Structure 1
Amino acid sequence: MTAVEQTRHLATAIPGPKSSALIDRKAAAVSSGVGTTMPVYAARAGGGIVEDVDGNRLIDLGSGIAVTTIGNAAPRVAAAVAAQAGEFTHTCFMVTPYEQYVDVCEHLNRLTPGGGEKRSALFNTGSEAVENAIKIARSYTRKQAVVAFDHAYHGRTNLTMALTAKSMPYKHGFGPFAPEIYRAPLSYPFRDAEFGKELATDGDLAAKRAISVIDKQVGADNLAAVIIEPIQGEGGFIVPAQGFLATLLAWCRDNDVVFIADEVQTGFARTGAMFACEHEGIEPDLIVTAKGIAGGLPLSAVTGRAEIMDAPHVSGLGGTYGGNPVACAAALATIETIEADGLVERARQIETLMKDRLHQLQADDDRIGDVRGRGAMIAVELVKPGGLEPDAELTKALCAAAHSQGVIVLSCGTYGNVLRFLPPLAISDELLNEGLDVLAAALKALA
């Protein structure tokens, strides 16, 4: 494969004629329920660039929603995938197992937070792994209720839609949902400030607010698990106040409740640690991973304490494609790349660069209400000038302006007013700065 040139280049307007033709073909062939963010069709990608079918080279600040963390078509991954595909592509691990599955589980047991004996099980998607984590927790505790949090996103299957907080577009019209799901308030420092500085900065206090709701609405005797994203993804890249996660975990341990960390978006060096839980020094009972685990191939996992992971009966966990050998080969190459190329440290460098630039913009523009995140998982929350009122229209316009200039950015948040940045860790400082230059010019033009 020829390396993709690492420069932004607009050969045509966005979209170009070939992408426009494919847009028409999509409309005729693909369910209209499948939406797209940008009106371009990818042809090649690598480093910090996605090249479309018209020859436009776009700066990638999205990584396919945090999937191509180590860079698209990363050399070790591409070689490992080709080699494994030449040997065999599938046997089903539950029928004739293979070493690659075991290799991945051994690495996950080694890398995830926490000491002691651990086990892992492999699946295909984040949603599927979340569902299996809930199954495992219910099997272990012999209880049924599950608590998720405000602004949470856990997937699009029936159970994970119930766990997800946001209705449109994820839940609207798709019910009824799985029962025994309850919701508690999250620590959201930027918006908790409306209720006082102490609640916004004291994670222990915010956790006690959540625990009070859980005690009253559910009761620990009925509660199998609490599931939380250490840094929320679709909900707006919300980083809870220090101490929030630790206090929740301590309460769970005291009450025979399984603490599940959903690290689907935050895992594998994305936040400047191998896993986001490490920033808080917590060791979850179960940790759910996917997205960045396999360099772009579909793979997910649940990893946790051996006594919990071993609770389900034999053959109670599995799935035809779970832990596919080609995806496992990609995961092993991804982990090797993260460790060999120092990508955890690279994520920290990206955080410093991006936050410095974004804080400079914030100092001159009161529409940037908050700059937050960790590593290469950074967000700005946009508000109406002089207050906290969310500005979803500005966010939408800013995304559109960036897209037209060849910069891939994504929005998120319960109120649709958060611009999120998920650059691949293979991106250069030059491309990062150029992408932020484009955003700064677009923000100024939209004043």
Structure 2
Amino acid sequence: MCCALAVPLPVGTAAAIDDQQFNELKDLVTKLGQKIEKQDLRIEQLEKTHAQDAQVHAQDQKTHEQDQRKIQELQQKLEETQQAVSNVQTAAIAVPVEPLPRVPLDEATVNHNFSILGDAEFQYAKTSGQHGTFLFADFAPIFLYRGGEKVLFEAGFDFGLQNNAPNSPGATTTINLSFAQLDYLMNDYVTLVAGDMVLPLGTYSERTAGWLNKIPDDPLPRDLLPGAGVGAQLRGAVPLGESGKLINYSVWGVNGASSADGTGNADQLDLGGNVGLRSDNAVANLHGKPSGGARVGWFMPFKPHYDLELGLSGQSGEWDNAGQHLWSAGVLDASLHLGSTVEVKGEYIRSCYGSDDHGNVRPEGWWLQASYKLVGLNLDWPVINNLELVNRYDSIHDGLGTRTRRYTLGYIYYFSNTLLFEGGYEFLHSNDPTQKDQLIFQLSYGF
């Protein structure tokens, strides 16, 4: 039995099993080797990345330390600067402040403060029942001169052109002195004015007349008031708080109204002829006592380009040579701006004067004007954006029986801020047959 178990297996069978196992083991070893190589490469990459990260971290740490040192240096310099400023302020408070000496203005070197301003208007007018015509409406230069730090002088003229008398050839040029006044700035709140002054009866004469007027002619009731007067005036403004509100005022004394022929007849009232020098070269007032007047206005802004102003003004004094009759006038004016596109303004005027032939005469009138700039429509049309529409209603009763009402539709085309093309049609209703409807176009230039 033992011998039988010890019999060896055939040699061929054992060799075949060993080769197959060997090949399988070889394949397994090869695959394991490849995996090990890949893992070695991955480990090597990770080590390189870790080394780079460590280097970057070290650089960041170094930069951070440098930044901290710079911050500390800047804080130290800031503290030193603040301390230096504090020392200077303390020293400045301790030393009394003396005002700088006033440098006098050389009166001989102020010619550069001479300016010429003004306006010119050219018109085409067509009155109902008459021939249309072109006309040179007005050339109105204003001369401004600064004679020192507190002295100002201004004078305005009106140049006109008209035909000569009927049946006479040629034309006549007229020159009128509109105003000539000297202003002395007493302080921030008071200015002394003397000369042939523009009178602040309402605001039209000072702020709207001429090329500033958005309709080519004046409101009808302005004929009830003098535009200027020879005398003296104190004027100024006082602010009310910090919001822009203010009270403006004027107080004046002038020669006042007079009589054209010296009598007290109502139709001889002359609002602008009493200038102190008579036609016979005598220096005298045409009546015994001058006139006095005043205006007070309240200006209230709401926000930029939004504001309201209300004003009350008046003047009173003798007007006939005998000093028997008084002439008085009162004006209530208002102006409203709603943005840069909407403007509404107007005046109510009432006057009263005694006379020999009509007793007490009480003329009155009012006017209201509204305008709107089409740029407020926000249209991308340049021609439309340069247009402004204007409407005005004015009415007057002369106190002697004549009543006139007028309604005007107009426009302004702005070639620029100073070159304007205006137009308007006036519808008149009056018991005076000479008052007719009228079409007016005007080219205005302000300089």
Q: Aligning the two structures, in what range does the TM-score lie when normalised by the shorter sequence? A: under 0.3
Greater percentage in strand: 2
Q: Which has the larger radius of gyration?
A: 2
TM-score with structure 1 setting the length:
0.24
